[in-house]
Amino acid sequence: MKIVKKYFLVAVNTIILSIFASQCFAQSQSATADKKKDREYIKIINQLYYFIQQNYVEEVDPQILYEGALRGMLQALDDPYSVYMDKSEWRNISDTTQGSFGGVGLSITKPSTTSKDKPAYVEVVQPIDDTPGARAGIHPGDFIIAINGVDTSTITMDEVLGMLRGTIGESVTVTIRRKTVEFDRVLVRALIENPTVKFGMIGNIGYIRISEFSTNTAGHVQEAIDSFNTEKKLSGVIIDLRNNGGGLLSSAVEIADKFIDSGIIVQTKSRIAYENSVYHANEKKTVVRGLPVVVLINRATASASEILSGALKDTRTAYLVGEKSYGKGSVQVPSGLVNKDGFKITVARYYSPLDVNIDKRGIRPDLEVLYPEFTEEQKNEWERIEKDNVIPSYVDAHPDMNEAQIASYAKQLKKSYNMEESFLRKIIRNEVYRTKTALLYDLDYDIQLNAAIKVIKDGKFESLMKDTKTLKDQLAEDEAAKKEE
């Protein structure tokens, strides 16, 4: 045990030294004094580590102290975006930003709680086309009850991902339950691309939904634009950034460049000189000049999504519809550690083309469209619907419901549950498509998307854009309102 501890301490010291040397004091002007402080602080950390290991009332797993030390250092920054990540968290963020990973190509979900009556098995939401999972004939709605013989109801989602993802070319065995039938499939891991862009036409309007910004996102947005440009009567483009928590700054910049003629897209400012950058449009715009562009945002639109929507707003390129965005105006750099853990740390703040930082402010849309808040009674009714399990049971018995049948069943449910029929239709429709290819959009329920379509169809886009407020205008209004309070 003592030998393990000594080796582990060397690893801890190496990691701490690496962090201090490469991040915390790299820009110090008084190098000698700071190095002396470094040695003193690390000596104190070593002293406390040894004392805990030798004297604490119970034996402590060294990993707990190691993770606690790293989490504590980053928490001391009082920055919610500077965080330590263990191996599974680090792998997930690497997969997200790189846009591809070794895996089996199954979009999955897993309940957070398990019971004897309802084990928390992994459910397949959708196999990704032309991947090992799809080629093996795995269907939406199938349950993965075991991976390499391990019961999936007994492990976490991170552990599930850790078993399904891995080295390309290696195999993994999944046990599938389809209704009452169980069978095994051997899946050979392949390079899987994370699908971050979906697009299609809504009449003569091009619609692009971006779920996150990875290395491949800009290329897929270009595919969407190229597809739209083949339409003879294209009347506008809608970019849906709702519930998009961000991703790579470079990806957002590259996409903005497809819409903006010239000038600044975004700039980053930091105390470290090489983190200061100004990103300009390269004047090779690929979207037709003058084509109406509407961006959908909501309270979960954050970070790189706000870089894109803010750039399009400040340059008066797009009209924003929806809700005020989240307000995350800082830039993080992810970095791996020697033991395959990692961390993210804030290195800069970003500013819009008109030099506005939206951190903790968010971006207000040009046209605010809010979904009605549920009353307490409606929340209770929704919980009752979920508890009664009426919709899954009905859909299981009627698997191929069309829109008329969905509407008819919603009217029937309305008699027992005091909910809006449009909402009832939505949750019925969600259940119907749980085991099918998901709909790209839902015009029956989505009032924000319908508002965006109306902006384009009304034919007054040019005059609307003349009256829009830039982020600088919004900031001035906010400052004036503060002075009046």
CA 111 to the chain's CA centroid: 19
Please give the distance of CA 99 from its chain centroid, rounded to a whole number: 12
Give yes or no: 303 in active site: yes
Q: Within 13 A of 444's CA, how many CA atoms are on the CB side?
A: 17
The CA-based angle 327-331-332, given to 5 degrees, is 120
Q: Which of 328, 341, 344, 352 is catalytic?
A: 328
Distances (CA, A) of 220 to 193, 227, 237, 366, 388: 11, 11, 15, 27, 42
What's the token pair of residue 15? 């990691």
Q: What share of the chain is helix, strand, coil (3-state, %, to 5)?
A: 40, 20, 40
**Whether 118 contacts 392, CB under 8 Å:** no
Cα 474-249-216 angle, rounded to 5 deg: 130
Beta-carbon-side half-sphere exposure of residue 75 (alpha carbons within 13 Å): 7
Q: Which of 211, 214, 251, 303 is catalytic?
A: 303
3-state secondary structure of 96: helix
Catalytic residue among 95, 314, 341, 446: 314
Closest CA to 320 of 273, 343, 346, 352: 352
Per-residue HEC secondary structure of 289-351 comes to CCCCEEEEECCCCCCHHHHHHHHHHHCCCCEEEECCCCCCCEEEEEEECCCCCEEEEEEEEEE
| Inter-residue contact 109 to 122 (CB < 8 Å) | yes
Report whether 176 contacts 184 (CB < 8 A).
Answer: yes
DSSP-derived 3-state class of residue 83: strand
Bridge-based pairing state of the strands 236-240 and 293-297: parallel
Give me the sign of the Cα torsion angle 122, 123, 125, 130: positive
Nearest-angstrom CA–CA distance, 174 and 159: 14
Say if residues 423 and 445 touch (Cβ distance below 8 Å). Answer: yes
Give the active site residues. 303, 314, 328
